[in-house]
Every structure is written in structure tokens, then in C-alpha cells.
Structure 1
Amino acid sequence: MSKVAAFLSGRRTRWVVVGFWLIVVAALLPFQKLTDVESNEASAWLPKNAESVSVLHRAAALLPNETVPGVVVYDRGGQALSDADLAKVNADAAAFRSVENVTGEISPPVRSGDGQAIQLVVNLHVPQDGWAGLGKSVDRMIELAKHDDQGLSVHVTGAGGYAADSGKVFTQGGSLMLITLLIVIVILLAAYRSPVLVLRPLFAAGVALVVAQGVVYLLAKHAGLTVNAQSSFILTVLVFGAATDYALLLIARYRQELRRRENPNAAMAEAWYRSAEAILASAATVTVSMLVLLFAHLGSTQGLGPVCAVGILSSVLVMTTLLPARLVRGPWMWTLWRKTNGRWVFWPAMPEYGSVDPTESGLWAKIGDWVAVRPRRVWIAATLVLVALALGITGLRANGVPDRHSLTKTTQAMVGADVLDQHFVAGAGDPVYILTRADAADQVRAAVATVNGVIVPATPPLVKDGTAMIAVTLTDSPDSAAAIATVGEMRDVVHRIPGAEAEVGGSTAVKKDMEDAAARDSRVLVPVILLVVFLILALLLRAIVAPLLLIATVVVSFAATMGISALVFNHVFHFAGADASFPLMAFTFLVALGVDYNIFLVTRIREETERHGTRRGALIGLSATGGVITSAGLVLAGTFAALGSIPMTFAAELGFTVALGVLIDTFIVRSVVVTALALDFDRYLWWPSKLFRSGPSATEPELADRDEQVAPQPSVV
């Protein structure tokens, strides 16, 4: 480790590091086009053995492949529609056939029972550029329908309309990047008050993002990795957040060492040596936790794991190699003053050799003194507060978000859905498809007709090559919980028919399969992630008690975060629910990232314990890392909060929850609970490691000088 540190900060060898990363960036720049490899269609998100996926494959001979229905609905705001209006709709239907991605037959116009609306169904092929291409097609259809405006309102809704709206949202990656950059710049300026220093970690974070996006593109292109628009957004904020966190930890230690060492290269070598273990352990925890998602059944979750793992690995590699090389190198004008070379990045508040480290008597030192008076009471009280906040989790509705509420702004597809609900049967235009053997079609039709909430048409099923397709209409909205429950009942009924080989598909069935897969993933993967995190912490700390306590604090923090989030979602933002995969996503990010800050703190406590004992080491560790961890927490919370700029319910919920959880971990769990536990458990924190058996006692003189102001507490046995 010391040799690596010396190489990275050497006067000549650092140029090798800079040159290496310049070559890597040049090689990966042509692959900064994740939108070309994104898979946003349902078949890529679902488990391969899902029934709705099987229906998609079996229906390929009966329906155009990879299509979604777009329901075009016309109305006059409650007025009756005339025969002339019907003629216009027929003319529009003919014009729609020339629109790119419109495929198959267009259904005849259907007038509502009250005569106030007309609908027709257009099948839209999902193009190579995904939902973004659908958006262009839908816009063109609306433009054609309105070119001779006769006072008719026209909307394209249904699965095709919602997909088109989502595609427009997914093109806002540039604004997310800009907002994320501004947040990081503001926090770094507030933390260091150095305009020069801000540029170095930002440049390195940009390199990390280029590397991550290039590698993810290649994996998606040549190794079958599933990438969607959501994982692309998350990759951006995760890389900037994590990379900046690692930079802050390294820079803080570098600044401390500059006060102790006159030579900046030697200071950087020592800073890297002392901080690398915590940074690498933190990155390993997040990376392995994300890779656990490979065992998910839901395709979108399964693909997110490797994407985030690549982002973390890119961040840690760049920040532990390129950043040190850049920090110790000053521009030629600064090298004229060798005294400031290497310290210049902190201008105007450059740390002078031999000066006193302000963290020794700063805010976090005072907080440590306050916690040390009655540590047991502090951690018990804080834990009870977190448990009380966790009670709100009972109100979390993580059973999917209806399509019309999947975005946080009103779109034309949502307005069209409201028109459909007012004038047509709720499921009209988005049928449920049942595939069965042709000789069992009549039996299947009769069985399905017994299910409440289903309308079976009188028209005969479509038959080809011995397979029959029955299209039925749901009386509930296709994206509603009631409709999803009806699909489950339909499956139970048709599966009981021997030899029918009947399967139920369609957009509602897709939602059900997603919810079922997400529920299974949460049950199976949550304990696996906890076990993985525990093993990494045990190896890092060479103890059992400390890892168990750290995991317990993170779990309680997660529960409190979810409780608060549920209350805010229901009563402040008025969201219609949460995605079925949301709890697992939030858990993975909060546990992995929450443990990050505990690692930063506890590794420093362990380092100081070897010289001063656990209680003194806890106070030194808190005062030394408090400022940097707070800044890191604010950066990570800010970058995830930037997801709220995307008008998508899932992004807003995930961004809010992760940001809130990080802040709770930063200001309550790490600074209060973990510090209090270390003070209370004393040397038993390190059981059964060498520190437990032979570490310095809490009564040695080095601790006494600090404990003159605080009353020592008995250890927990």
C-alpha cells in the first residue's frame, strides 16, 4: 500500500497515472451513447419465465411483434359528437397509416354510449430508439388529427400514449447532469471555500462518469446487460455522488497531513495510505451489494445492479489514482513558489506546515464531548426516536403506480385516460389477451366469463396454427390494482383447464408479473445483502460486535427513512403509490451507502484505538471525520435529490428517500448513535479481535486529558 501511495504521488510517476487515464478516456469517448442500447420494453424488464412474456412470444404469429396499443380518443368537452365528427375520425385513421411505427390494422372508430366521445385503437411498433421514437409517432398523430381543427379535442392514451410520454421524460438527462453539477459545486465551495480545489474532484468525477458510461455501453452491446432509462439516470447521480464522497475523504486527510509534513508528495502518500482502506472497503461494500441484484428475477432490477457496480468501481479507481496525481501537481506559475506547491489547491486557505488542525476543537469535537457524558442514554434515546418514525412504514403503498400517475406532471395521455373513463368501459382499448389451444377455446371463453370484472366479446377468437387468441375487456382501468387482481383470478381459472395450455397476457398481466417478481426479489435479496455487508465489515474490522451494531443502526435508519417517506408521499406529495421494486431499490442504496459513512468513521476510530483506546479513539475519530463525512453526506443527498427534477414518480420517490436516508445516517446515526455505541461498548466493540484483548485501556493518560471534561461511563459487558 505504501509503495502504491508513493507511486501515485511521485513527482514523475504521477504523470504515468495522468497519461493512463487520458488514454482510457480517449478510448471510451466514442461509447457515450447509452440511449442506443437501452431496453425500455416490457419483455426486457420482466423475468424470462413470466407468463406475460410467454404470451408475447406465442402471440408473435397473431399480432405484430413488440407493439403497444395507442388509444386515440376524441371529445368536445361533454357535447354530443356528430356524424361529421365521425367522418373526420375515419379520415384521421386513414392518415395515421402513414405515420412511422404505426403497424397492423387500425380498429374502426367506436362511439361511446352517451355519444360524447369516439375512440379508435392504433398499434404502435416499439422502434429501435425505444420510447423516444414512440413519442415522435404520437406527436405526429396528434398533429395530423388537429391539422384541420374543428373543435375536437384529441388525445393518444393507453400503453402507447403513456410510453410516448415516458420517452419524452427520458430525454432530460442533460438537465439532470447540469443540476447535479451545480449541487456538487455549491457544496464543495461551501465546504472548502476554494474555487481552485472544486475543479479537481469535479474533473475526476467527470472522468469516472465517462469510464462508467463507456463500460456499461460495451457490456450492454456485447454482453447482454439490460440497461434502461432509469438505470442511466441513477448511474449519473451515483457516480457524481460516490466519486465526490471518495474525493472528500482523501482531500480531508491530505489537508491534515499537509499540516504535519512539509513535503506535499509525502503528505499525499501518507494521506492515501491512511484513507485508502476506508475508501476501498466502502466501494467494495456498495459494489458487492449492487452485484447481489444480479440474482433478482425482475429484469430491470437485475440490470441495475451491474450498472451501479460499474459506476462505483469507476469512481473509486479514478478517485484513488487520478485525483492524488492531480492534487499534488500545481500549474507552472505556482511552482515558482515551492513552499506553496501542493498546497495551492486549497487557496486561499492553504494549510501551513506545523499549523493546528481545526478539527481538534471544532463543532464535531464539541458534539463528541456532549455524547460522551451519557453515551448509553444517547444511543437508546436516538434509537427509540428512529423506531417511532419507522411506524409510518405501515402506510407505504408499494403495490405499483398506475400509469396515469407514473409522472409527476399532467400529460396528454393522462387527460385522454380521464376522457376514456368518463365515456367508455375502463379497460376499453387495452384488452387482456388469452392464448390457448384452438380446440379448448370455447371452454376457456366460458371459464373466463365467470370471472367478475371481465367482458368477453361475442366475436370468435383469432385462430392460427392451432393457437387461439381471445381478447377480453376489463371493467376496471387496466393499470389499477383491481384489474391486476382480476388478471390473477383469470389465470387461476384458465390454468385449471386440463390440456388447454392457456396463458394470460397483455399490459395488465405485465404489471402483475412485475409486482410478483419485485415482491420475490425483496424477500430473497434483502437478507443476502445484509449478510454480504456483515461479512465485508467483519473482514475490515476483524470483529463481530462492531459489524452487528453497524448493520443494526443502518437497518433502523432505513426503517425510519421509509416511515417518513411514506408519510410524505401520502400526505405532502399525494403520490398514488410506489413502484413494487421501490422498497428493494431504496434498501440496497440506503444500506450500502449508509454503511459507507459508518466505515469512514469506524475505520478512523479503529486507527486511533490502537494508540489511545476505544473511548478516546471514538472522540478523535468523530472530530477528525465529522466535517468531511457531513460534506460527503450533503453531496450524496444533493445528487440523489436531483432525481426530483425528473417528472417521474419513481425517480422522485427514490431521490427523496435516498437523500433523506443519507442525511439521517450522516447527522444522527453516524454522529450520535455510532459514536455513543463506541463510547458505551468500549473495547467490547472489537470482540474478538486483538484490540479487544490487548488494546489500550480507557484509563490511560492519553484519554484522561480529554475526560477531564466528561465523566467516564462503564463499559457494556
Structure 2
Amino acid sequence: MGATTTGTARRRAVPWLVLGLWIAVLAIASPFAAKLGDVQHDRAVDYLPASADSTQVAKIQERLPGGEATEMVLVYHRDAGLTAADRATAAEQVAEIAGAHELTGRPAGIPSKDGTTLMYPVASTEPGTDEKARDALVNDVRDIARGGDGLGVEVGGSGALATDASEVYNSLDGPLLYTTAAVVALLLILIYRSPFLWLVPLAVAGLADYLSMGVAYGLNQTFGTAVSGQSSGIMTILVFGVGTDYALLLVSRYREELRRIERPYDAMLAALRGCGPAVLASSGTVAAGLLCLLAADLNSSRGMGPLGTVGVLCALAAMLTLLPALLVLLGRRVFWPLVPRHGSTPKARRSLFAAMGGSAERRPRTVLVGGAVLLGALALGTFALPGNLKQEDSFTTRPDAIAAMETLAGAYPESGTQPISVISPTGRAEAALTEIRATKGVESAEAGRSGGGWTELTVLASAPPQSAAESATIETLRDKLDGSYVGGPSAEQIDLEDTNARDTAIVVPLVLLSVLLILTVLLRSLVAPLILVAAVVAVWGAALGIGGLVFDPLFGFEGTDPGLGLLSFVFLVALGVDYGIFLMHRMREESLNGAEPTAAALSALRTTGGVIASAGLVLAATFAVLTSMPMVQLVELGFVIAVGVLLDTFLVRTYLVTSASVALRRRVWWPGRLSREPGRSAPDDVRKPVGV
């Protein structure tokens, strides 16, 4: 009687204790979560390679007198040709800007050959490195520089482009969170068919996201981890996507155990014992894959690794502690109207996944070959991917800075309109200036600010920005100028492309190795992990190929983000293996319970297929939210990951992995003990005698 009373008291106390602990943790994290936006930066230096020339230029510019300069170009344009009144208006407005702000020099107008356009390069160190002050400066210049009566006035340049990008990233937090939550809520309602149940995992995911914001702020303050609009947005996507996946798996297993076990507390313990190892291994795989990004040289990629890991681990903690506590406290009634009664059996229905398993059982090799051919054919679409994304093509909308760049490109087709920044040791500045002016492809070069032993030189190429000719000029300057750094917007694009190629060569093998190690430990096999990893790599290639087929023809994208390949690989491999873990872990559990290999594979597919499909839909939908954002790189990343997750969910896991398991039978578990036939685990002459 006493033991029973003690057990009942524990069942009642533990969920309340967990709930109280979470309230305390969230109360502690709350002040820090609210400050995450204060440390979020979207400057060029926050995305550039850590060791690149352009990064060194940006850092040294920050230390020069006045700090980093905000460079703008005022563009005055009339299709029929500028009038004398237009030029007078331009001069008056530029003079007003010079009177209101501290400019680094006296702006001089540069007319186009056709007489339709007049551009004024303008630079100011007034805001220094303060992003809000920079944005205020750009917006004030835009308020002063106004057109009318057929005169178009646009403000472009790197400073204006940074302001437009900053406004986009700052606007992501609210819409991204609300849209993601709405998508997840809708899918959970459809999956659970309950007016109450969907609220529980959604609320838990929201709390996990809030906790992740507090932890991310702590990482920034303690280790200096970079926080950008891109990385914080991806963190939110991961919390909701991955967290909901774990919730779906746990709730499905909990519902199953409630039919066998009377008390919800005991049923939840059984559910955690059953699916806990798979969820832990899944989160460990995703976290390990993301942490491999720390080996990247690109600041934006390296910063995304820790923040993504924080999101996954906070989602894991919430779904394995807070969610079970809430479900136990709410009892069976939370499942209304489909309440799982103790001792009941679910209504037998012909499952789609049972049918898929049947075809895989009858012709496993045919299914494997057909699937491999399909994925290979889709991967050929990668050859149709557009070239590297240029700055003017990075927005899905047309902000003022992009409009200015397009006007300049049309009016000055054979000349540079975007300065190249060269930072030279002050003692060699004059010699460097002479060398620069003698370089083929350079139109003009002037000395700028000096301080701290460095001098800034402003160079204008004779070729249009981000053209092959301008890139060649930049490379030539870097080769000629020993001890100097060459940067600026065009140089930054070159460094982004080169560094992404380098990072891919380093990070991809690290991701594959870490994932293989975790899978090997979990599944006690070498063959099964190789199958899962090969499958997700094939999915990645196919998803990129589909992107190549639609980015330009359907979306009208003029280029591909240089980081798309690496980031989509990390996410698809780490997240895709999740579903393989869910399936193979259940298959191994069935095999340990005595099921034959084919029966174990089909049973695992039948019992987890619905959960994997639901989880895949949720994860794909959360990443698809990125396709509604106004930045091309986010749209491309969201599209490729969403398509890859769907391919992985409905083709690879259901058909190909199951078919491979049926075809290989026990060999799929080699060299583990499940790979051996029953009764052949040891020779007769070495078996221990009975009773020993």
C-alpha cells in the first residue's frame, strides 16, 4: 500500500516539477532573449570570409579616422536627356547634403556620354560602424535627393545597398516567426484532427524558440558568436521544424503506449524509452552536422553553426521534458475526439505505407534501380543552375539601391561606377598609387584617409561592376600590391565565391564523417549508415538539380547564391538522416524482438511511415516559409531544402531504404550481431555449458 501511494505521488509530482523548472528557466532567459536583436548585425564584415582581403579592408576602415565610410551614389536620370534645370537641381541637392552631413570630400558630378544621367559619388564617415546611424544617414540623403516632372533620382552605392538589406533582415523576425507558427499549426490540426492537441507541441516549440534566443545571446556575449539576420532566422525555422518532428514521433509512440498501459505517466515513460534513443541520435546528428560549419572560413556560415545547434538542442530539451510533462498533466482527454482507450486496438486500415512496403518487398532491386535512376536524372539539373548571384540580383523586390545600380549599368555600360577600396601602408601609399594608376583596367585612383599606419586609396575601374574585366583588374591589383589589401563590394563577391569553394571541400567530409560515426554507434552497423548517408547525398543532388530547372525559368533568378551548395548539403544531410534514424531504429527494435529481416523492415515502415510523412511535411513547410522572404539567397535555400525533405520523405525513406533493407536482409546490420542468423552467434565448441 505504501509503495503504491509513493508511486502515485511521484506520478503526480514529477510533471509539476518539470513544469516549474521550465518556468524558472524561461524567467532567467527572458531578459537575454529580448536583447538578441541588439547584437544582430548584417554588415558586410559579418558575412565575409574571416581571412579574406576584403574583410581586412572592412576592419581597417573601421579603425580609420571617422570609422568605416558609408559610400553612396546619387543618380539623376531623364530618359530624354538632362536639362540645365535638372543639373541645377542636382547641384543644389548635393550642396544641401554636404551642408547637413560630414562628407569625406567634395562631390563632383560625372555625366554619362549620352547625356541622360549624372552621378555624384558621396561618402561620409559620420555614422562610423553604427548600423542604425548609417541607415539614418542614407534615409536622410534619400529625403533630400528628390526628383519629379520626369527627373528620376535614386540613391545607390554600397552604403545604400547595406541599408536596404538591413531593412529586409530586420523585417524578417516577425513575419518569419508568425508565418512559421501558422504553417505548423495548420499542419498539426490536419495531422492530429483534434481541436486541442495541436496547441501543445506548438506552444512548446514557441517556448523553445524563446529559450534559444536567450542562449544565442549568451553565446554572443561569452564567445563572440556572430548573430546575423540569416542565422537567427534559420534558428527559428529549425526550432519549429525539428521540434515539431520530435513531437510527432513522441506523441505517436505515446498514443500507442496509452492503448497498452493504463496510467498516462507510465505510458509516457514507455514512449520515452521507445523513441528517446532515436530522438537523441537524431538531434545529435543534426547538431554535429551544424557544428561542422565552425570549420568554415565564411563568417556567415561559421556563425550559423552554433545558432542552429542551439535551436536544435533547445527544441530537443523542450520536446523530451516539457512536452511529456504537459501531456501527462492533461491526460487522455487531450486527444479528444480520437481518445486512445486502454485495451483498445486501432481500427485496421489499408495503409499507404503498407502498400509501398508491399511493392518494395516484391521487387526490391527494381525499386532501387528505378529510384537511383530518377535521382540521378534530377541531379543533372545542377548543370542548369544560373551563375553566381550578383548584388543587383539578390533581392526579389527592387529597392532603391538596386534601381540605382540598374540605371548606372545602362547609362555607363563601359565604365566603373562602384569604387574599389585599397588599404595600403601609409609609407607605401604614394608608390601604391603610382602602381595602381599604371594598372590596365584602372580608370582613376585617389588617396583618401590615413590613420593607424594605413591609408585608404579609392580606385575606379574602367569596366562595369562585377564584370569579368573588373574581376581581372581586382586580381591584378592584389598580385601587384605587396602588403596592401584590396576590397570593396566587387572584391567581396570574389572572396565569397572563392571561400565557399574552399569551405565546401573542408566541411562536407567533416559532416559525412560525423554523421557516419553517430549512425554507426546507434545502429551497431556499418552497412546501414552507409545506405542512409548515400541516400541523403543523392537527395541533395536531386534537390539542387530541381532548383537548376526552376530558378531561372520559373522564379526568374539571375544567379545562384555561392553558399547554396554547402548550406543545403549540411541541412539536408543532417536533417534527412533524421528520418532514416526513425525508420532504421524501429527496424532494429523489431529485429531484436525476433522479427525476420523482411518482416522487420515492413513493420517499421508501417508503424513509422505515417509519422515520418507528417514530420517531413512539417519540416518541408517550415523551410518553404523562406521562399516568401524578399532575399534570393533565402528563397533558394528554403526551396532546395523543402524539396529535398519531400524527396527524402516520400521516395528515399519509404521506397529506397526499405527496398535496400529487404534486398540485403541481415547483411544490412553487418558486422553487428543482428547480421548473423539465429543460433549461429558462436560455434558449438565454444558455447558455455548450461548452468555456468
Structure 2-normalised TM-score? 0.91
Inter-CA distance 133–441: structure 2 relative to 1 (3 Å threshold): closer
Contact 1:636/1:659 (<8 A) preserved: yes
Identify the range of structure 1 (467-476 vs 186-195) with the bigger mean alpha-carbon deviation. 467-476
Unaligned runs of 5+ in 1: 1-5, 331-341, 496-500, 698-717
Is 1:104–2:104 an aligned residue pair? yes
Is 1:369–2:358 an aligned residue pair? yes
Is 1:454–2:442 an aligned residue pair? yes
Contact 1:109/1:120 (<8 A) preserved: yes
Equivalent residue number for residue 515 of structure 2: 533
Equivalent residue number for residue 233 of structure 1: 233
Q: Distance in 2 between matches of 1:164 and 1:594?
A: 36
Alignment of 1:232-631 (within 5 A): 232-330=232-330, 342-358=331-347, 361-397=350-386, 399=388, 401-424=389-412, 428-437=416-425, 444-445=432-433, 447-449=435-437, 451-457=439-445, 469-480=456-467, 482-495=469-482, 501-611=483-593, 612-631=595-614
Q: Distance in 2 between matches of 1:461 and 1:312?
A: 47
Contact 2:70/2:127 (<8 A) preserved: no
Contact 1:456/1:472 (<8 A) preserved: yes
Equivalent residue number for residue 69 of structure 1: 71
Is 1:654–2:642 an aligned residue pair? no
Alignment of 1:670-685 (within 5 A): 670-685=653-668
SS in 1 for 2:155: strand
Equivalent residue number for residue 211 of structure 1: 211
Contact 2:103/2:126 (<8 A) preserved: no
Q: Distance in 2 between matches of 1:474 and 1:412?
A: 23
Write out per-residue CA displacement over residues 570-603 of structure 1, whole angstroms, 9 at most, x where no aligned residue.
Answer: 2211212122111110000000000001001110
Write out per-residue CA displacement over residues 622-675 of structure 1, whole angstroms, 9 at most, x where no aligned residue.
Answer: 000011110100000000000112110000000000000000000000000001
Equivalent residue number for residue 690 of structure 2: none
Q: Tell me by how many angstroms 1:275 deviates.
A: 0.6
SS in 1 for 2:114: coil
Q: Distance in 2 between matches of 1:7 and 1:438?
A: 78
User: For residue 667 of structure 2, what is the amino acid of its counterpart?
Assistant: Y
Equivalent residue number for residue 163 of structure 1: 162
Is 1:119–2:119 an aligned residue pair? yes
Q: Tell me by how many angstroms 1:245 deviates.
A: 0.5
User: For residue 297 of structure 2, what is the amino acid of its counterpart?
Assistant: H
Write out per-residue CA displacement over residues 47-96 of structure 1, whole angstroms, 9 at most, x where no aligned residue.
Answer: 343222333444557664222311111122332231x3333223322332
Write out per-residue CA displacement over residues 684-703 of structure 1, whole angstroms, 9 at most, x where no aligned residue.
Answer: 01011111125599xxxxxx
What number of residue pairs does the alignment pair up? 671
SS in 2 for 1:352: coil
SS in 2 for 1:72: strand
Equivalent residue number for residue 686 of structure 2: none
Q: Distance in 2 between matches of 1:506 and 1:51?
A: 10
Write out per-residue CA displacement over residues 104-135 of structure 1, whole angstroms, 9 at most, x where no aligned residue.
Answer: 33523333333322222222559699656544
Equivalent residue number for residue 714 of structure 1: none
Identify the range of structure 1 (604-613 vs 52-61) with the bigger mean alpha-carbon deviation. 52-61
Is 1:198–2:198 an aligned residue pair? yes
Inter-CA distance 440–223: structure 2 relative to 1 (3 Å threshold): closer
Identify the range of structure 1 (150-159 vs 378-387) with the bigger mean alpha-carbon deviation. 150-159
1:49 to 48, 51, 62: 51
Q: Distance in 2 between matches of 1:169 and 1:695?
A: 61
User: For residue 405 of structure 1, what is the amino acid of its counterpart?
Assistant: D
User: For residue 591 of structure 1, what is the amino acid of its counterpart?
Assistant: V
Q: Distance in 2 between matches of 1:532 and 1:8?
A: 43
Equivalent residue number for residue 685 of structure 2: none
Contact 1:420/1:426 (<8 A) preserved: no
Write out per-residue CA displacement over residues 124-166 of structure 1, whole angstroms, 9 at most, x where no aligned residue.
Answer: 55969965654443333222223x8565321111111211211
Contact 2:65/2:451 (<8 A) preserved: no
Q: Distance in 2 between matches of 1:440 and 1:151?
A: 48
Inter-CA distance 281–566: structure 2 relative to 1 (3 Å threshold): same
Q: Distance in 1 between matches of 2:144 and 2:157?
A: 19
Contact 1:409/1:647 (<8 A) preserved: yes
User: For residue 163 of structure 1, what is the amino acid of its counterpart?
Assistant: A
Q: Distance in 1 between matches of 2:678 and 2:281?
A: 23
Q: Tell me by how many angstroms 1:477 deviates.
A: 3.2
Q: Tell me by how many angstroms 1:470 deviates.
A: 3.5
Q: Distance in 2 between matches of 1:256 and 1:465?
A: 69
Inter-CA distance 269–205: structure 2 relative to 1 (3 Å threshold): same
Contact 1:111/1:119 (<8 A) preserved: yes
Unaligned runs of 5+ in 2: 1-6, 681-692
Contact 2:67/2:128 (<8 A) preserved: no
Q: Give every structure 1 segment of 4 or more consecutive aligned residues whose post-TM-superposition deviation is greater than 6 Å.
A: 6-9, 460-466
Inter-CA distance 541–240: structure 2 relative to 1 (3 Å threshold): same
User: For residue 552 of structure 1, what is the amino acid of its counterpart?
Assistant: A
Q: Distance in 1 between matches of 2:674 and 2:605?
A: 19
Equivalent residue number for residue 339 of structure 1: none
Alpha-carbon RMSD? 2.6
Inter-CA distance 376–571: structure 2 relative to 1 (3 Å threshold): same
Inter-CA distance 592–517: structure 2 relative to 1 (3 Å threshold): same
Contact 2:613/2:649 (<8 A) preserved: yes
Contact 1:405/1:575 (<8 A) preserved: yes
Q: Distance in 1 between matches of 2:9 and 2:86?
A: 74
Q: Tell me by how many angstroms 1:259 deviates.
A: 1.6
User: For residue 141 of structure 1, what is the amino acid of its counterpart?
Assistant: V
Q: Distance in 1 between matches of 2:282 and 2:679?
A: 27
Write out per-residue CA displacement over residues 473-509 of structure 1, whole angstroms, 9 at most, x where no aligned residue.
Answer: 12333244553343123212334xxxxx233222222
Equivalent residue number for residue 333 of structure 1: none
Identify the range of structure 1 (476-485 vs 561-570) with the bigger mean alpha-carbon deviation. 476-485
Write out per-residue CA displacement over residues 178-220 of structure 1, whole angstroms, 9 at most, x where no aligned residue.
Answer: 1111111111111111120010001100110011011101211
Q: Distance in 2 between matches of 1:467 and 1:289?
A: 40
Between the two proteins, what is the percent identity of the paired residues?
39
Q: Distance in 1 between matches of 2:457 and 2:61?
A: 11
User: For residue 22 of structure 2, what is the amino acid of its counterpart?
Assistant: W
Structure 1-normalised TM-score? 0.88
Q: Distance in 1 between matches of 2:258 and 2:99?
A: 69
Is 1:152–2:151 an aligned residue pair? yes
Contact 2:75/2:118 (<8 A) preserved: yes
SS in 2 for 1:478: coil
